[in-house]
Amino acid sequence: MVLPLRSLTTASQAARRHFGTAVGGDKKSMFAGKIRNSRSIDMPMLSSEGKSERALDGNTAAAHVAYSMSDVSFIYPISPSTSMGETMDKFSAGGRKNVFGQTVKVRQMQSELGSAGALHGALSGGALCTTFTCSQGLLLMIPNMYLTAGELLPAVFHVSARALARQSLSIFCDHSDVMAVRSTGCALLNSQNPQEVMDLGTIAHLASLKTSVPFVHFFDGTRTSSVIECVKPISYTAIKSVMPWDALHNFQQRGLNPQHPIMRGMGQDPQTYYQSAVASNVFYDAVPHIVQQTMDEVAMITGRSYKLFDYYGDPEAIA
């Protein structure tokens, strides 16, 4: 049987529409699925993270590592750190799992003071916690930063540094807010680009847990927090491989528990107060060595090496 040319053309177009749409649709679905599975930041699971470079800003890189090692996070918006808290909330709402296989609880408080107070309370109960702030918001956290450091509670404050308001408010970046918290007892660790935010943010969380000293991980607001560069994310599986599980267990054992009551935060006379304060020096003396050790461990899983001090000059220079 010979069909007219017009009938053949019509049948061919109909078949192409039918089979082409189905095959094309399957291919598009498969391609979309591969894209979703390859995303290091949006993907809730751990298995496909860190496979390749991603275009990220500093705030997203900080949220990526903060989410990985937190049980809970208390946030309050203040530019230019707002998107860190928003990204944490996005990860939590999407069901993303941290290295412990849990979804992080994210709560917005009434102010930065409330965020710092809730952070101190969560840490006292044995829950890993983090927060994000800058400028005047960081100043509101100072009283609780003293408490957190004095009680040797591991935490990381991610700060996208911004100018403090003086004669007027300014959203441009300087480090006047970070310089105002140097005496709180928190260790300071600075990143200069989004890749360093990813790497040193991870180091800050790990080192804080090992040393029992809270860290302020800071970087330039806007210039680093909002700049988009190619970053190699650290997968949660890799972070899990270097987690100091013994230090985590010891921290959790120190948490307040009604089944094992202890007294904390009492009033002390000057002599006892001074002796207690000086007793923490041994923890601070160990910080440089432990931070360098942690840098070396992270270098093993990332291939990116960091040092506390990098010397540039003649190798045979005379002091």
SS (H, E, C) 106-121: EEECCCHHHHHHHHHH
**250 in helix, strand or coil?**
helix
Task: For residue 218, give the CATH number of its domain.
Answer: 3.40.50.970
Q: Establish if 308 belongs to a structural domain.
A: no
Q: Establish if 144 belongs to a structural domain.
A: yes
Nearest-angstrom CA–CA distance, 188 and 181:
9
Predicted confidence at residue 3, as pLDDT, reads 44
* Burial status of residue 4 (CB atoms within 10 A of its CB: 0-12, 13-18, 19 or more): exposed
The 10 Å CB-count burial string (b at 16+, else e) for 187-201 is: bbbbbebbbbbbbbb
Residue 317: pLDDT band (50, 70, 90) is confident
pLDDT digits (tens, 9 = 90+) for 242-284: 999 999 999 999 999 888 888 887 888 998 999 989 999 999 9
- 41 has pLDDT over 80: no
- Indicate the number of domains in the chain: 1
For residue 80, cis peptide bond before it (omega within 30 degrees of 0):
yes
Bridge partners of residue 272, in order along the sequence: none
- 229 phi and psi, to 5 degrees? -135, 170
pLDDT digits (tens, 9 = 90+) for 188-201: 999 999 999 999 99
Q: Establish if 134 belongs to a structural domain.
A: yes
Q: Establish if 121 belongs to a structural domain.
A: yes
Its domain, for residue 152, covers 54-246
Q: Establish if 63 belongs to a structural domain.
A: yes
Q: Establish if 65 belongs to a structural domain.
A: yes
**pTM for the full model?**
0.82
